Chains A and B, each alone.
Chain A
Amino acid sequence: MSALTAEDRGMLAALKAFGVNMLWHPALSIETGHEALEIFEDVKTGRTELDALCIEGSVLRGPGGTGKFQMLSGTDRSMADWITDLCARARYVVAVGTCSAFGGLPMAGGNLTDACGLQYEGDDAGGLLGRDFKSKGGLPVINIAGCAPHPDWITETLGLLATVRLNAEQLDTFGRPRFFANHLAHHGCSRNEYYEFKASATQFSHLGCLMENLGCKATQAAGDCNLRSWNGSMGSCPDAGFPCVACTSPGFETPSDAFQETAKRAGIPIGLPVDMPKAWFIALAALSKSATPQRVQSNAQSDHVVIPPARDGDDT
């Protein structure tokens, strides 16, 4: 449903721009019941060629391996079996969202439904199709991770498949397209000055950085959320005052602490930027805290700017 808002002109127009012809979509197509099943059968038997199969949602294999937690309506057959058949026919297989990529939220709380992603179960390769699966086009499952993924990640990935072709080097180690996964969600954060000075919010609606206290994982999560922003470039998670929960990461559904609190050991957040020596991070944080301007410190713990920036010519 996220995809419907793509590029602010809607998914249909966005896909048309890349010459993508949509064969069937559960929310948009006219074909229903037996008409839809005929389309699936034609793909399954090879009568219709399928360039890309997009799957949304975790694969639910339970109870007891029967797949009864998720049957394809009208067929008395599990969705897992249908997906396996159709994936064998598709040139490319695309997991849209963290659920179909890695298993996602249904895996939380002991994984009661035996949920998995198409080619991952959390961060373990495997999933429904197995670690060695490659579609006819020679690629593993393309994981447009995110809960929900940015709508433009979806249309742009499909656009890449339809126009210039994707190769394996354009995917990261978790099969995510690098054009968004090579960034950290932190890049371009509107709270960056507060981050630099470790001037932290202590309550929701404060302007300060959300990393130290309020659970923000943007410095560790893949995504260009703050570079491109969401919904008409009008916002993002941290911009709107709530933490990045790293929804593009396998296992995001089971954090080590509450989603809205930063897990700490001896007062230090355990989730620091992964490619920076911890001691240096702590030393720099201490240094920048001691250099924090009063303006930044005061504004960080307010819901609006109480001290505006001083500029040349101001009376100070």
Chain B
Amino acid sequence: MSKRIIGPFNRVEGDLEVRLDLDAERVKQAHISATMYRGFEKILQGRPAYDAITVTPRICGICSVSQSVATAAALSDALGIHPSPNGQLGVNLVHAAENLADHLTHFYLFFMPDFARASYAGKPWFAHTERRFAAHAGLGGKELLVARARLLNITGILAGKWPHTLAIQPGGLTRSLDEGSKMRLLSVLSDVRTFLEETLYGMSLERVADLDDRKALDRALDAAIDFGADLGQFATLARDLELEGLGAGYARFMSFGAYQHEGAALFAAGVVEEGQHHALNPDAFSEDMQSSWLAGEVSHPTDGVTEPYADREGAYTWCKAPRVQGQPVEVGAVARQLVTGHSLITQLVGKGGANVFTRIISRLVESARIVISMEDWAQRIEPLAPVNTEDQPVGGRGGIGTGLVEAARGSLGHWVRIEQGHIRQYQIIAPTTWNFSPRDQDGVPGPVEFALQGTPVTDDDKSAVAVQHVVRSFDPCMACTVH
């Protein structure tokens, strides 16, 4: 038995420490530590209700819009406001732009550079991987940054800037629209489609989005390799390194459903356990503080507190342990595509858990689906229709509201209680809080802690490179975790 501590664990958003107990060159158990506490929920208490719109995006510089959308949804729910359908299209476009930017950033800048590590120098695919993905220098990363900046022009058009917009309000969008802005959106989306088809996939978005079984996937991956697309490079090294055998998670997934418009969601909400679909039941959520430097007992987020208790015995992280009916769940693109019944992802995951390969493929399939939907939403914008329903002043009103949305990294929930126009209580469960949660009162490890068990780490592999692949396959955002 030996121990290994990896920190600062970088190419993730925020502060992360991974502690490993190794036995026979494999991870026997892992402990995940979030090493920062900021107290955003307590900062919100006593503030005017709509101040949350300014405060919560600033939890994170990378999932900022997701926090806005969750806040607006929670306030709408609490105060009985219905966003305008036209504004909702704009909100979806801004939200989708951020989520897509996050998926692409993850692939090019966070996940793939590990395969350009010197330890892979003997591999036949190394030279090309290094040319495309080496940290700071890879051509793929540079091309991505140009495409990403262009993609985020959508936030300039509809939300003024990225990150930290206030454009997303309970009644819709603050940015009035005209024919010109609609054309600019379509122009940006055309450039985004070109980058994805010509650089990332080497095929049409529709072909990626419609992949329906493993055979079709294998043919598409071969086509991407022939084309010289970045997806092909991932396929080559994933097959060689057998990434499907790495990082198997719990066979329990959750999605809150994403991109609402006129009463329907593009991606459905629910829970999938060992291949069985169940309805989402937020009443069954709880937050456990057993391993967290936080005071308090297991509670539902409506009544939850986030009170620092740095001396808590046995605690090893600032992250809580959220559970559904007492059980940990995995969230993210693979959960979203599984819950919404995408046939390829359903077949790949089967009755088991996700792995490094399926997590990456799910993000890439989802990215294609998102852009196709963004084009549709942009077409459906009515330039002269209202973007924001007429808000009544909050005044002395009160209410209890829940905002459940999907960030790039998975399910994001805001729970708010408003009294006399002011925030009495605010709780947030971020996607990475679900995935990177610590052990609960039953000693059950969080999803990443579980997925790391059995990961090979040889004695001379000081960087524990397989551990890096597993952890980054979840795309953690520790900044949101330690709100």
Contact = CB atoms under 8 A, between A and B. Distances in A.
Interface in A273-288: none
Given A68-B310, A259-B54, A32 B9 contact: yes
B458 interface: no
* A contacts with B: majority SS: loop
Interface in A1-28: 1-2, 4-6, 8-13, 22, 25-28
Nearest to A257: B48
A31 interface: yes
Interface in B35-87: 35-40, 42-48, 50-51, 53-55, 58, 61-62, 87
A243 interface: yes
Contacts of A106: 38-39, 43
A229 interface: yes
A4 B142 contact: no
Contact of B136 (A4, A29, A257): A29
A268 B198 CA distance: 57
A249 interface: no
B156 to A, nearest CB: 3
A184 B388 CA distance: 28
B5 interface: yes
Contacts of A308: none
B387 interface: yes
Contacts of A66: 310
A27 B35 contact: no
B161 interface: yes
Interface-centre pick from B55, B172, B384 (highest chain A CB count, 10 A):
B55
Given A9-B145, A12-B136, A260 B54 contact: yes
Given A4-B105, A10-B146, A235-B156, A205 B387 contact: yes
B8 A30 contact: no
A203 interface: yes
Contacts of B43: 105-106, 108-109, 112
Interface in B13-55: 13, 15-17, 33, 35-40, 42-48, 50-51, 53-55
A292 B190 CA distance: 42
A240 B161 contact: yes
Contact of A33 (B9, B39, B384): B9
Interface string A44-86: 0000000000000000100100101111111100000000000
A172 interface: no
Contacts of B53: 259-260
Contacts of A2: 61, 162-163
A33 B388 contact: no
Contacts of A136: none
Nearest to A243: B166
Interface in A106-155: 106, 108-109, 112-113, 147-148
B165 interface: yes
Interface stretch (B174-182, B215-223, B248-256, B346-354): B174-182
Nearest to A74: B7
Contacts of A1: 13, 61-62, 163
A231 interface: yes
Given A33-B8, A242-B165, A231 B152 contact: yes
Interface in A286-303: 303
B167 interface: yes
Interface in B106-159: 109-110, 113-114, 116-117, 134-136, 141-142, 144-146, 148-150, 152-153, 155-159
A236 interface: yes
A270 interface: no
B368 to A, nearest CB: 22
Contacts of B171: 204
Contacts of A227: none
B11 interface: yes
Contact of B35 (A70, A236, A238): A70
A309 B64 CA distance: 38
A163 interface: no
A206 B159 CA distance: 14
Given A13-B142, A243-B166, A75 B157 contact: no
Contacts of B13: 1, 27
Contacts of A235: 155-161, 175
A229 B166 contact: no
B10 A32 contact: yes
Given A5-B148, A105-B43, A237-B160, A10 B142 contact: yes
Interface string A222-249: 0001000111111111111111010100
B58 A105 contact: yes
Given A109-B44, A205-B172, A8 B7 contact: no
B6 A33 contact: yes
B442 to A, nearest CB: 27
A34 B20 CA distance: 14
B12 to A, nearest CB: 8
A147 B58 contact: yes
Contact of B11 (A28, A75, A232): A28
Given A1-B13, A27-B110, A63 B61 contact: no
Nearest to A98: B58
B15 A73 contact: yes
A34 B386 CA distance: 54
Interface-centre pick from B13, B54, B87, B463 (highest chain A CB count, 10 A):
B54
Contacts of A211: none
A10 B462 contact: no
Contacts of A101: none
B292 interface: no
B17 A74 contact: yes
Nearest to B293: A68
B228 interface: no
A66 B54 CA distance: 30
Given A2-B61, A60-B36, A27 B11 contact: yes
Given A12-B141, A105-B55, A113 B37 contact: yes
Contacts of B105: 4
A87 to B, nearest CB: 18
B305 interface: no
A251 B117 CA distance: 44
A160 interface: no
B8 A36 contact: yes
Nearest to A302: B176
Contacts of B92: none
A271 B184 CA distance: 36
B463 A8 contact: no
18 contacts: A1-B62, A8-B146, A8-B150, A34-B6, A34-B462, A70-B36, A106-B39, A108-B43, A112-B308, A148-B61, A204-B169, A230-B156, A231-B152, A235-B159, A237-B165, A259-B51, A260-B50, A303-B386
Given A203-B391, A235-B161, 12 more contacts: A1-B61, A2-B162, A10-B142, A10-B148, A13-B142, A27-B109, A29-B10, A36-B8, A74-B17, A205-B174, A205-B176, A304-B178
> Would you list the 7 A-B pairs with minimal beta carbon distance, nearest first?
A74-B7, A10-B145, A240-B160, A234-B156, A231-B156, A73-B7, A241-B174
